[in-house]
Each structure stands twice: as structure tokens, then as C-alpha cells.
């Protein structure tokens, strides 16, 4: 079974962050982000759902963000205290 298939199985049963997946598979965050982008396109008609990243300082939610990578800072408060997005398959 490929890593992408294993990621899909994990995300079907629980929500996870990209960093958690990278730690689980002992690979880089960039590899996991590439996998998630591919998974998003390949699992149709199911969907890769995302709880968007948000700023812990001012509660700004990155709703319109289409990229799966973590934002570096908040556009409103310029804080770098950003909670990463969470993924799951539905």
C-alpha cells in the first residue's frame, strides 16, 4: 500500500494535521503537502475536508485560502501565532 493510500485511510477515520502525518510517516512536511494536494484531486467523488487555519491572537480565519500549506502570519494582526489547518476525508 502506498503512502498516499495510507494517508487516505488515516484521514477517513480521524482528523489530522499535515505535520502529524509527516511525523507518522517520518518524511518531510513538503512531501505530505504534495500528497494532500494529489489526494484532493484523486479521491473524487469524496472530498478532502479542511478546517481552515486561524490566528490564535485575533481569531482571524483563513477561509478563502486554497493552498494546503500553513500561512506564515496573520494578515490582520501580523502575528505568527497561527494554528495549522486540519484535514479529513469525507
Tell me if residue 19 falls in helix, strand or coil: helix
pLDDT tens for 27-69 read 999 999 999 999 999 999 999 999 999 999 999 999 887 677 7
CA–CA dist 20, 86 (Å, integer) = 10
pLDDT tens for 16-31 read 999 999 999 999 999 9
- The pTM of this model reads 0.83
The x, y and z cell numbers of residue 71, run together, are 500561512
Give backbone dihedrals phi and psi of 4, rounded to 5 degrees, phi first: -65, -40
Amino acid at each position: 500500500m502506498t503512502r498516499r493510500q495510507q494517508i487516505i485511510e488515516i484521514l477517513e477515520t480521524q482528523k489530522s494535521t499535515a505535520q502529524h502525518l509527516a511525523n507518522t510517516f517520518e518524511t518531510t512536511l513538503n512531501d505530505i503537502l504534495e500528497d494532500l494536494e494529489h489526494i484532493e484531486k484523486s479521491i473524487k467523488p469524496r472530498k478532502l475536508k479542511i478546517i481552515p487555519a486561524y490566528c490564535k491572537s485575533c481569531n482571524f480565519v483563513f477561509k478563502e485560502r486554497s493552498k494546503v500549506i500553513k500561512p506564515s502570519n496573520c494578515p490582520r494582526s501580523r502575528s505568527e501565532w497561527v494554528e495549522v489547518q486540519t484535514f479529513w476525508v469525507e
